[in-house]
Amino acid sequence: MELHDVLRVAGIGILIAILHLFFESTGKKEFAFFLFFVGYIYMTIELLRLLKLFFYEISTFLEWLMMTS
């Protein structure tokens, strides 16, 4: 995982939070809920992608460990 990934997820999270607060304060709760839902789906997809990378690194390490024995 690189710093670029973390900054992208944080930036999108902050943008979604600001837009959510804006829609809540203007009384458009349907848009705020939809925005929250889209943000939740995006963060879930990113989490799954990062978990895939994590497990790939773990399996690579374990393969290396088995080869050195």
**Model pTM above 0.75:** no
- C-alpha 4/C-alpha 17 separation (Å) is 20
Q: Which residues contact 9 (CB under 8 A, 6 or more apart)?
A: 43, 46
Q: pLDDT tens for residues 15-56? A: 999 999 999 999 999 999 999 999 999 999 998 998 998 999
**Domain range list for the chain:** 3-68
Q: pLDDT tens for residues 58-67? A: 999 999 999 9
Specify the long-range contacts of residues 28-34, CB closer than 8 Å, at least 24 apart. Answer: none
Comparing 2 with 16, which gets the higher pLDDT? 16
- C-alpha 19/C-alpha 34 separation (Å) is 11
Token digits of residue 5? 């990934």
Contact 23, 29 (CB under 8 A): yes
